């Protein structure tokens, strides 16, 4: 029969789903020490739940505390370590909370910086991106991110290949990745702009005549996401990105900035041969397709 302490540990894990990959409760061996310190377990459960309310459901990628937790819990009895390191863990949570809150509240600002939240983006990346002071700093950070994580965009290419809505563009997409790897970015950019528009329109699927207002389409798609907070962050960043991307092109202010749909497609803006501009469009396209219902992925 499970002890009361076992149940307290189980509730703590259940209240903090993003810990379940690093904390493995061994409910069959609760010790006398843990039993005697049960009030501490209750305190930690309450503290962790309070932080959980702030960060919502951040997934397993919350590396702010994962390293500390992994270090403490490897090969050790979980109930004892929850007690022994209660103060240190709580201190880490409290220190992280203001930055976490700011990142969540600023997810829409990420779009104005020219980027979006993707399913592959770990929380520390989102946190750092939200703290960039301007678009240039955000571009520099994301350039280094992709150089480290997916330098030739194999990951994005594979994900896009699995999307039914993009099957008609499969040949062109494969060719675009070849051009990207040959550093022919000026060829890639116009093609990606039209693929991105196609992808955005399909957020309005299965309507026979999808809306031509891409900002409205993105906004309306948020109604179908349910309670998935991760996707809600993606939508907020995509909405502000789309607002800027479809804004009127002004050569006096946009000549050295990021590409605009109206500038490129109306022949007013010359596609720049810049790697970061191509990466940006692939990145945003990756965000859009992750908002499709699962049935649209093969």
Which of 237, 277, 9, 288 shows the shortest CA–CA distance to 142? 277
Distance CA 63, CA 46 (A): 21
DSSP 23-43: ----GGG--HHHHHTHHHHHH
Contact 185, 270 (CB under 8 A): no
DSSP 138-161: HHHHHHHHHHHH-TT-HHHHHHHH
Write the pLDDT tens digit of every residue in 199-222: 998 887 666 566 778 888 888 877
Specify the length of the chain in residues: 298
Which of 55, 60, 164 shows the shortest CA–CA distance to 104? 55
pLDDT in the model for residue 19: 36
pLDDT in the model for residue 25: 37
Which residues of the chain have a pLDDT value below 70? 1-87, 89-90, 92-94, 96-97, 99-106, 205-210, 224-229, 254-257, 295-298
- Run of H or E including 66: helix 63-73
Helices (H), 165-274: 170-181, 185-201, 214-221, 229-245, 251-254, 261-265
Write the pLDDT tens digit of every residue in 17-63: 443 333 333 333 344 344 444 455 555 555 555 555 544 444 344 44
Distance CA 164, CA 187 (A): 24
Mean of the per-residue pLDDT values for the chain?
Answer: 75
pLDDT in the model for residue 161: 95
């Amino acid at each position: 029969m499970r002890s009361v302490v076992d149940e307290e540990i189980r509730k703590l894990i259940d209240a903090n789903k993003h810990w379940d990959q690093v904390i493995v409760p061994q409910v069959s061996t609760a010790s006398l020490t843990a039993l005697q310190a049960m009030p501490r377990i209750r305190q930690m459960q309450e503290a962790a739940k309070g932080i959980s309310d702030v960060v919502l459901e951040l997934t397993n990628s919350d590396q702010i505390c994962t390293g500390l937790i992994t270090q403490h819990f490897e090969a050790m009895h979980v109930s004892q370590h929850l007690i022994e390191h209660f103060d240190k863990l709580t201190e880490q949570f409290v220190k992280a909370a203001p930055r976490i809150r700011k990142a969540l509240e600023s997810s829409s600002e990420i779009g104005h910086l020219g980027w979006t939240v993707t399913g592959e983006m770990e929380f520390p990346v989102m946190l750092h991106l939200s703290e960039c002071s301007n678009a240039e700093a955000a571009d520099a950070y994301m350039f280094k991110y992709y150089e480290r994580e997916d330098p030739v965009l194999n990951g994005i290419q594979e994900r896009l290949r699995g999307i039914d809505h993009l099957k008609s563009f499969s040949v062109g997409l494969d060719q675009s990745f070849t051009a990207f790897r040959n550093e022919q970015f000026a060829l890639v950019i116009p093609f990606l702009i039209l693929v991105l528009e196609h992808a955005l329109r399909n957020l309005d699927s299965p309507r026979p005549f999808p809306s031509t207002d891409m900002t409205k389409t993105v906004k309306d798609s948020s109604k179908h996401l349910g309670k998935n907070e991760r996707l809600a962050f993606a939508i907020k960043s995509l909405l502000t990105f789309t607002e800027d991307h479809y804004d009127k092109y002004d050569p006096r202010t946009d000549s050295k900035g990021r590409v605009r749909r109206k500038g490129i497609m109306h022949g007013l803006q010359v596609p720049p041969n810049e790697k970061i501009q191509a990466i940006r469009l692939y990145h945003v396209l990756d965000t859009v397709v992750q908002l499709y219902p699962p049935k649209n992925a093969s």
